[in-house]
């Protein structure tokens, strides 16, 4: 029999083909979906700015539209980075955050037009700059944080950083002496360190609960059908409760105290699955509210403005409910369909570009537009929680759930306050309101969620639709 040999070239050809097949990657379905949504979002944001200009001035200002285009370029850069580094990341998070940021800039710009603010004196210019910084921070985090589990190693360091950030406003040469002691001033910029503190504390809470979950769930006392924790397990809850009270008392910041405590209680419930922790948290919140209204004039006035909002004496009193009532009347003026962007009168409400950005948009976009914005927040929060619950890593599960719930709780506190569902606090509406610190912190949360979702999707047996 004669030996039949393959040509030498066939072996190399086969090897090259196999090598090419190995390099082939599945179509980036998630990123293609994200790109399609982003294109749609860019059109909405551009149209919103154009409608503001036409409604308020009957003319287009291409300069501001070009400035907004630079943000579009940075978002596209983030999208390209995700294609290269995190191709399985959630496709809805970035488009939703981009749309909310763009709508906020458009409404802030509308108020600048009325008040004839230009250059660095205009809130919209500063918001554009802060949005660029925030997106840059998101790019850095998404690139550098290749494995989010590395954060678990520095659990207690993040706890220390979070507390240190909350204490920064007490440093004399940094404090801005605002209504609430939560701002610091560095050069021409004012910053609210509590916004970054919530991220650091979320990482600390997640790491701490992963380490101590067994002791929190394995023992307890049965009462009323629920397993209640022992005194020693109540220690962390009481410490966080006292920190939240200290924030309310010393910094005159009701919102941040409620936000941090609420985030911890929810993460505690996710870690242990015990309803008793939630009930304990609610009891402590009610107790803190009752004590604060009795001994703190700041908190008592907030409750009085909430309960007696339409009392003429309360409306006309210094620090009364005038702002709250004006915001409610503005949303009522918008009706179902709104007055149209650039054609309402949101400028009648004090601080309409920050604390009352939601009523401003509610007036010009109407009830339908306000519900659409709330739906965006609901989708954002639900995607984040779904990322966490689908993960197999306890630390990532707690971190994603805590950060997502923080956004949802902040929206509830702020929107509930301006619509008189609950007493008004000093928080900002995420992504929408004027303010650089909030925007930077929220885009960092976006980047962390993207990294966690990419890790979750890359694992077998885990599917997120």
- For 58-126, give the secondary structure using H, E and C: CCCCHHHHHHHHHHHHHHHHHHHHHHHHCCCCCCCHHHHHHHHHHHHHHHHHHHHHHHCCCHHHCHHHH
Question: Are the beta carbons of 205 and 267 closer than 8 angstroms?
Answer: yes
26 has a pLDDT exceeding 70: no
The conformation of residue 158, written as its DSSP 8-state character, comes to: H
Q: Which two tokens stand for residue 150?
A: 């590395």
Q: pLDDT for 107-159, tens place per residue?
A: 999 999 999 988 888 999 999 999 999 999 999 999 999 889 999 999 889 98
* DSSP characters over 356-374: THHHHHHHHHHHHHHHHHH
Q: How far is CA 209 from CA 268, 417, 449, in A?
A: 7, 31, 19
Question: Are the beta carbons of 98 and 79 closer than 8 angstroms?
Answer: no
Average pLDDT, the chain: 84
With cut-offs at 50, 70 and 90, classify the pLDDT of residue 464.
very low
| pLDDT at 178 (0 to 100) | 52
Place of tokens 């860019």: 42
With cut-offs at 50, 70 and 90, classify the pLDDT of residue 443.
very high
403 has a pLDDT exceeding 80: yes
Q: pLDDT for 187-205, tens place per residue?
A: 666 788 888 989 999 998 8
Average pLDDT value for residue range 51-80: 91
Would you call 316 helix, strand, or coil by DSSP?
helix
Q: pLDDT for 247-302, tens place per residue?
A: 766 667 777 788 888 888 888 888 887 777 778 878 888 887 788 788 778 788 88
Q: What is the CA radius of gyration of the chain?
A: 25
Q: What are phi and psi of 277, to 5 degrees?
A: -65, -40
Cα 137 to Cα 22: distance, rounded to the nearest angstrom: 34
Question: Are the beta carbons of 432 and 361 closer than 8 angstroms?
Answer: yes
Average pLDDT value for residue range 440-453: 96
């Amino acid at each position: 029999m004669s030996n039949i040999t393959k040509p030498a070239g066939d072996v190399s050809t086969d090897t090259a083909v196999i090598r090419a097949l190995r390099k082939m990657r599945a179509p980036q379905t998630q990123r293609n979906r994200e790109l399609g949504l982003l294109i749609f979002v860019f059109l909405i944001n551009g149209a919103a700015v154009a409608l503001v200009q036409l409604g308020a001035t009957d003319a287009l200002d291409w300069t501001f539209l070009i400035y907004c285009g630079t943000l579009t370029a940075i978002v596209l850069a983030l999208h390209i980075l995700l294609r290269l580094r995190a191709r399985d990341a959630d496709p809805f998070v970035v488009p939703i955050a981009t749309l909310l940021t763009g709508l906020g800039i458009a409404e802030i710009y509308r108020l600048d037009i009325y008040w004839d603010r230009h250059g660095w004196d205009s809130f919209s210019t500063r918001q554009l700059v802060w949005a660029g910084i925030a997106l840059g921070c998101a790019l850095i985090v998404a690139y550098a944080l290749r494995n989010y589990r590395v954060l678990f190693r520095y659990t207690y360091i993040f706890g220390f950083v979070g507390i240190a950030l909350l204490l920064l406003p007490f440093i004399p040469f940094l404090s801005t002496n605002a209504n609430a002691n939560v701002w610091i001033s560095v050069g021409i910029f004012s910053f609210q360190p509590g916004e970054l503190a919530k991220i650091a504390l979320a990482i600390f809470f997640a790491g701490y609960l992963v380490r101590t979950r067994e002791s929190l769930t394995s023992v307890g006392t049965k009462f009323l059908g629920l397993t209640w924790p022992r005194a020693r397990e109540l220690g962390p809850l009481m410490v966080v409760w006292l920190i939240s009270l200290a924030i309310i008392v010393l910094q005159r910041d009701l919102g941040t105290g409620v936000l941090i405590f609420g985030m911890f209680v929810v993460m505690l419930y996710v870690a242990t699955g015990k309803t008793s922790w939630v009930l304990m948290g609610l009891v402590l919140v009610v107790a803190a509210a009752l004590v604060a209204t009795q001994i703190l004039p700041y908190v008592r006035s907030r409750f009085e403005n909430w309960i007696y909002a339409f009392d003429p004496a309360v409306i006309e009193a210094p620090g009364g409910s005038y702002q709250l009532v004006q915001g409610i009347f503005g949303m009522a003026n918008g009706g179902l369909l709104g007055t149209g962007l650039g054609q309402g009168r949101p400028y009648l409400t004090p601080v309409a570009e920050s604390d009352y950005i939601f009523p401003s948009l509610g007036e010009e976009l109407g009830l339908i537009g306000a519900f659409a914005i709330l739906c965006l927040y609901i989708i954002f929060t639900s995607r984040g929680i779904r990322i966490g619950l689908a993960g197999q890593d306890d630390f990532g599960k707690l971190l994603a759930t805590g950060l997502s719930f923080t956004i949802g709780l902040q929206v509830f506190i702020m929107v509930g306050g301006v619509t008189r569902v609950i007493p008004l606090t000093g928080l900002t509406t995420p992504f929408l309101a004027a303010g650089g610190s909030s925007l930077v912190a929220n885009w960092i949360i976006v980047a962390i969620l993207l990294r966690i979702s990419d890790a979750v999707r890359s694992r077998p047996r885990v599917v997120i639709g």
